[in-house]
Chains A and B, each alone.
Chain A
Amino acid sequence: MITLHNLTHTYPLPADACGGAPGAALDGVSLTVAPGEVVVLCGPSGCGKTTATRLVNGLLTASGVGDGDSEGWVRVFGFDPGVTPTAQLAQRVGSVFQDPRTQFFTTDVLSELAFGGENLGWAPARIRARLDEVSARWGLDGLLGRSVFALSGGQKQRVICAAVDLMDPPALVLDEPSANLDAEASARLAQAVADWKARGKAVLIAEHRLAYLIDAADRFIRLEAGRITHHLTPTQLTALGPATQAALSLRPIPPPNAAAAPKTPGGGGGMGLVEMREVGYWRRVGPASAGVGRGRHRQVVRIDHLTVRAGEIVALTGPNGAGKTTALRWLAGVARGGRGELVVDGVRWGRRRRLGGVALVGQDVNVQLFANSVLGEVRLARRGLSADDAAAILDRFDLRHLAARHPLTLSAGERQRLAIAAALAAGRPLIALDEPTSGLDLAHMRQAAAALQELAAQGRAVLVATHDQDLIAACATKTHPLTPPPMATPTAQNASGPPGF
């Protein structure tokens, strides 16, 4: 049983790194999660979901410094997470976080699974027995020897779940576990949650995307500004309908049909038609990065024909591993090699031309922001851009009031819009975006969609790789599904390895 009793938590600083607003991050929250029950915390960014999960898994008091003050109490099967030693707590609460890439402590699957048991000082025989059990349950037998860097996001998240399961904690806390997963991986995650529920675990999940949990969850609790506003059963939540859900800033359930709603393209700019023809890309796959051992080449992208017109927003869809990211990197000229051509208004663009003519907003905007102010970031996009013009662009993306802030102090949604604003400021005809809405709540997703529509209205051709159905429904004029190329055809002369470090 997870119990929060009249819990109030205040961070010492306003605008904390956890996205907390000034004031109390949690304000008099009481809730319980019984064994065999799945409770989902939802609500807009900064509503206190993450704070709640971090109080349950003990992270907020683990260091005891600068974490803020709590009133009320938390109990997990009788223990106070704030004072329970790390090792004991790990056996009572298992945690899964948002980004599958950052949760690994080791570099190979087997070590990662064993990590928890080793930390608890279990005998190797006991760890091995548990390991066999969880790897069978989570379908990981084929992955045990792999490097974690060779896994897809969904596989990584599954390994993390299994690693947590190895310690067999009665309570589980998941903080936006699906933010980086595609539909299929989310569905598998939902199965995993259902499995935990069936085995009598108490599961608490903080999430923006709710649709995939609708069958597994028992209750949805909506928070806003640190307070509970709604208790909903799955049936009640679905019955609210899209309009009410939107008013509560919840993503629509059931999700909209992605292919629906053809929209008229925005205003035509100077440039008309962009075509990708016969694009193929190969990558060396093989042993771990340090490079001792053999590798081989495998095709990772295949696009026969794709067109984007100025003013159009084309959604590039497909499961993880379909090559969406690589396709965009090729398109933007940052990935060397590959085959095929990009033709813009009848003119073939070589790699150099693409590098200067396509603005790329990559998956992780944190590594694409270089200036020390929001305004500076936009001015950096094009030499000679005046402060007034840059401010005008910020206005279009509702960022003007943040002009003096350091980009990394912005919320995830604001940072994404800033990267989009910088792409517009660069003045390039074609803009490619990679998963611009992963981890965003409804409001920020809508703002991102509006930002894309602004790009189209400015006459840009927009290509956006995404598996966010809500985003597609909100702004895409067309979808282009991408399928993973078949595993065969390793042709050496087409070798186009990623650029060296």
Chain B
Amino acid sequence: MRLDPRAKLILFAAVNIVGLGAPFSGGGGIVRMVETGLVAALLALEGSWTMSASALAATGAGLAAHTWLSPSGVAVLAAGAVNLFARFWPVVLLGCYVLSTTTVSEFLAALRRWRLPTALTIPFAVVMRFLPTLAQESRAIGDAMRSRGLRLGGGRPGAWLEYRLVPLTMRAVAIGDELTAAALTRGLDRHAERTSLARVGFRPPDWALAGAAAATLALWWTLL
């Protein structure tokens, strides 16, 4: 299902605020269940059943730990760890969902509708383009370090950091220069008015999603 990136971002903001901030008890618990259900449903629609189940499991564990673990000794640490994980995990999963189901052009089109300046949208597009590239380059550097026996910096931890980061930074600069050349010769100009092929626009599912996000936030505030 193709959703408007803005609807996804609104849902993400709501899940982030509630997920990291809300309690597990009372209204917080209810709101958490609703939002986790939405996250799990979206992931399931993409066919990521494991991730979907893990979102439900994390929230379930958080609620269970909150309800049943008694606050003494080791249990406090265990409950704390579960609590922390249950807070972060659905947010992280939704973040993965947003990033991997939205193309860069969709993001750009959506952010333009929100009237973000090109000074932010162009670097944002570059970041999205660069993250996989950096992962590839970093893997290649890791390979080279292992193959050359420098995996742990050849015995010096300071050197390890240097070997890891210096070639990566150099490659990033070089690739950035080539990317700049490619972008300029294909007419990217921050002052020009761009159009977009990506179809963004709120359709019923988007309204439903954004509405649900707003409703959970409202629900949390009223139940507090």
List of A residues within 8 angstroms of B139 by Cβ: 498-499, 501
Which A residues have a C-beta under 8 Å from some C-beta of B?
A: 57-59, 62, 85-87, 89-91, 93-95, 97, 99, 101-108, 110-111, 114-124, 127-128, 131, 149, 160, 163-164, 167, 287-294, 329, 332-334, 355-356, 358-360, 362, 364, 366-370, 380-381, 383, 408, 422, 426, 498-499, 501
Known contacts A106-B105, A124-B196, A408-B170; A287/B100 CB under 8 A: yes
CA A332 to CA B55, docked complex, whole Å: 39
Contacts of B105 in A (CB 8 A): 106, 108, 110-111, 114-115, 118
Q: From the candidates A104, A160, A366, A383, name the one contacting B129 in the complex (CB within 8 A).
A: A104
Q: Which residue from B128, B135, B182, B195 sits with its C-beta under 8 Å from A124?
A: B195
19 contacts between A and B (CB under 8 A): A58-B184, A59-B185, A90-B186, A95-B182, A107-B103, A108-B104, A111-B104, A111-B197, A118-B194, A127-B197, A167-B186, A292-B43, A294-B47, A332-B143, A355-B146, A355-B147, A366-B167, A370-B145, A370-B148
- Which B residues from 171 to 187 make CB contacts under 8 A with A? 171, 174-175, 178-179, 181-187
By a CB distance below 8 angstroms, the chain A residues around B166 are 370
Q: Which 5 A-B pairs have the closest CB atoms?
A: A90-B187, A290-B100, A119-B187, A95-B185, A102-B178
Query: Which residues on the A side are within 8 Å of B13 (C-beta)?
Result: none
Bound Cα distance from A120 to B179, whole angstroms: 18
For residue B152, CB closer than 8 A to chain A, the reply is no
User: Complex Cα distance A163/B138, Å?
Assistant: 28
| Closest Cβ–Cβ distance, residue B111 to chain A (whole Å) | 14
Query: B198 to A103, Cβ gap below 8 A?
Result: no
Closest-by-CB residue of A relative to B149 is A356
Asked if B150 contacts A86 (CB within 8 A), the reply is no
- Is B194's CB under 8 angstroms from A367's CB? no
Smallest Cβ distance from B10 to chain A, in angstroms? 19
* Interface assignment of B69: CB less than 8 Å from any CB of chain A: no
State in angstroms the CA–CA spacing of A90 and B188 once bound together: 9
Contact A119 B138 (CB under 8 A): no
Residue among A107, A288, A359 with max Cβ neighbours from chain B (10 Å)? A107
Contact A364 B140 (CB under 8 A): yes
Q: Which residue of B lies closest to A332 (CB)?
A: B147
B96 at the interface (CB under 8 A from A): yes
B50 to chain A, nearest CB (A): 10
Q: How far is the CA of A289 from the CA of B100 in the complex (A)?
A: 8
Cβ B103 vs Cβ A111 within 8 A = yes
> Residues 101-136 of chain B: 1 if any A CB is under 8 Å from the residue's CB, otherwise 0?
101110000000000000000000110110011011
Residue B64 is within 8 A (CB to CB) of chain A in the complex? no
Q: Is the CB of B167 within 8 A of A292?
A: no
Contact in complex: B48, A499 (CB < 8 Å): no
- Given A121-B192, A149-B132, A334-B147: A292 and B181 interface contact (C-beta under 8 Å): no
Chain B: minimal CB distance from A365 (Å): 9
